[in-house]
Structure 1
């Protein structure tokens, strides 16, 4: 029997959480379900939704929709009325998510499952004693707010590690792990969207942002001993820094800075391996997509999501201790020269259909 499903997310920016939300919503709709995707405020939208999805911009204030999760947020009377008009459709499953969608909890009722895409209370490592103290205070404050916000809620996490971490903090909550999936058929079909003739040893896909540490990937590539080319698919505030570093490393004739693209798959398909050098991550969609395309991955093991994505014994050689640039460089070389094979069993674990089935059980 078709179900009515509502996703509520901050916006449709260019991140992985936004992308996997659209992909899952589209897959559900193509299976015959009635799917609505609402954004708190669409000013920062980058992605668009397929026509089969009912898209709604709630038009909430910038303060409620944007900014850090840890600032208390309340809807105005007008915003509450807008939300209630939407909820009058009597959805079988409501999924608030990303960051500030979780602040809708007091205003939602029925079958509500909060979708947590990453570690919301992660402690960032530092060697500086004063920064360590500051970081400990920050995590303590965020943890208290996290518990107050979500204890007692139904929660879907993207990794078992997050479920295990949150369970003792949220004793009144029901927690469930559902790994991110990719629509393999749609991914393969998208390979024809763009004709890509260039070949690369290494490809980086993601925001050019400080937390993604594109500089680590570049330095590792420079030190790896590889003689081929590297592509950077993405854009962001660190673009100028990255371009300066490319010149400093004398890589200007071996790096292709492609920039932001709607579909990185055709570019990834022309690379021998994907590199992920992030300081912190959730469960990156680009890693799942690379594996489904049969592209091996070399990644800092900076999150439980990445460790689970590369948990198969033959893929663990691609996991690197966080911030170990020497090991990153060495492994890039080894992976290009002797790549592991991504098996059909590996691909099944990260399929969109498997993810879809898990979510639809919540709507039953």
Structure 2
């Protein structure tokens, strides 16, 4: 008797970050195409702004540091025997391959790589870098295939691993069919009903790689010549530092930090401009989502991801990371002459969630490429 096709996605923590959102969108796409799918998670059940299709079966493997995931994953594999399993992080990939080996089943394992691995490894603390590098060397060549989110990521993987494992490039599934519907929700902040000046929006975590200090300084420079305000949607460990910098720059009334929002899309659509100030970002979804809603974007040239998204500056300015003056000039220029929204939407189309989820599904099931 032939076992029906079934796919598994090992997401890890459902902590609201971009990897978790991508995992949910892939799972939703797989079941929409008629393939039963299990979403394997560890510890945290927060789905953030994503809605998991009821047809997706969520399997909790237990807290990562307790040691339960390996045992539960082996039991899961023996009971459900998925056709293939997809992972998203270095740690989960190694654990999955160990579980497959212990299960005694020939289940192929795939791994999505969310940005150049060499850069990620180089910026880890020394002990953690050695551990993660060893895990990559040991396990990544054993995957059936690696899925790179961009051509730069694929090139980096070939440099690291050679030709020992097939590498496919599939853009992330970002633009969902319900994006416009979610963006039609209410905008609760009073600035959007006040015509006194443009509103800039940042959406993301308050962490060092986002370099939000440079963003605040750029806004102060823009405000020296014209009125504007900045809404910073998100949360993170640097909130206190950013609040102090906001006060130092005299921006207490012009920069708002309302915290995490489960649905930021009405704000992305209502914004006059969405800004990314990162020192490094693999494939920032906020740029793609803003463009899909027709909103102008400005970004630092912080990796091949933003460069690819903005077509090397054709769809929005790219400026050097850490340069507040250059960022301020790009903000002012884009506010003065915003691009055609239709062109932005066309640029975001390559990240269509349904199409790219289908490409994943066919690869995992070893079907002809879609």
Fold shared per TM-score above 0.5: yes
The worse-fitting range, judged by mean Cα deviation, of 269-278 and 305-314 is 305-314
Distance (whole Å) between structure 1 residues aligned to residue 340 and residue 261 of structure 2? 27
**Is the contact made by 1:152 and 1:174 (CA closer than 8 Å) also made in structure 2?**
no
1:269-308 → structure 2 map (5 Å cutoff): 269-308=269-308
Distance (whole Å) between structure 1 residues aligned to residue 131 and residue 324 of structure 2? 32
What is residue 189 of structure 1 aligned with on the other side? 181
What is residue 98 of structure 1 aligned with on the other side? 89
TM-score norm. by structure 1 comes to 0.85
What is residue 241 of structure 1 aligned with on the other side? 241
Distance (whole Å) between structure 2 residues aligned to residue 54 and residue 100 of structure 1? 22
**Is the contact made by 2:312 and 2:318 (CA closer than 8 Å) also made in structure 1?**
no
Distance (whole Å) between structure 1 residues aligned to residue 302 and residue 216 of structure 2? 18
1:132-211 → structure 2 map (5 Å cutoff): 143=133, 145-153=135-143, 154-171=145-162, 172-196=164-188, 198-199=191-192, 200-211=198-209
Q: Are 2:37 and 1:35 aligned?
A: yes
Q: Are 2:253 and 1:253 aligned?
A: yes
Q: CA deviation at 1:144?
A: 5.0
**Is the contact made by 1:121 and 1:142 (CA closer than 8 Å) also made in structure 2?**
no
Distance (whole Å) between structure 1 residues aligned to residue 351 and residue 235 of structure 2? 26
**Is the contact made by 1:13 and 1:46 (CA closer than 8 Å) also made in structure 2?**
yes
Aligned CA RMSD, in angstroms, stands at 2.7
**Is the contact made by 2:40 and 2:59 (CA closer than 8 Å) also made in structure 1?**
yes
The worse-fitting range, judged by mean Cα deviation, of 96-105 and 141-150 is 141-150
**Is the contact made by 2:90 and 2:135 (CA closer than 8 Å) also made in structure 1?**
no
| Alignment size in residue pairs | 341
Distance (whole Å) between structure 1 residues aligned to residue 220 and residue 69 of structure 2? 52
Q: CA deviation at 1:13?
A: 0.8
**Is the contact made by 1:191 and 1:265 (CA closer than 8 Å) also made in structure 2?**
yes
Q: CA deviation at 1:24?
A: 2.2
From 44, 50, 54, the equivalent of 1:51 is 54
1:314-333 → structure 2 map (5 Å cutoff): 314-315=314-315, 317-333=316-332
Q: Are 2:27 and 1:25 aligned?
A: yes
Q: CA deviation at 1:182?
A: 2.3
Distance (whole Å) between structure 2 residues aligned to residue 226 and residue 19 of structure 1? 37
Distance (whole Å) between structure 2 residues aligned to residue 96 and residue 178 of structure 1? 15
Q: CA deviation at 1:46?
A: 5.1
Local SS of the residue matching 1:332: helix
Runs (5+) with no aligned partner, structure 2: 101-105, 193-197
Change (3 A) 1:81 1:256: closer
**Is the contact made by 1:123 and 1:135 (CA closer than 8 Å) also made in structure 2?**
no
Q: CA deviation at 1:50?
A: 3.9
Local SS of the residue matching 2:214: helix
Q: CA deviation at 1:123?
A: 6.7
**Is the contact made by 2:5 and 2:36 (CA closer than 8 Å) also made in structure 1?**
yes
Q: Are 2:9 and 1:11 aligned?
A: no
Distance (whole Å) between structure 2 residues aligned to residue 139 and residue 98 of structure 1? 14
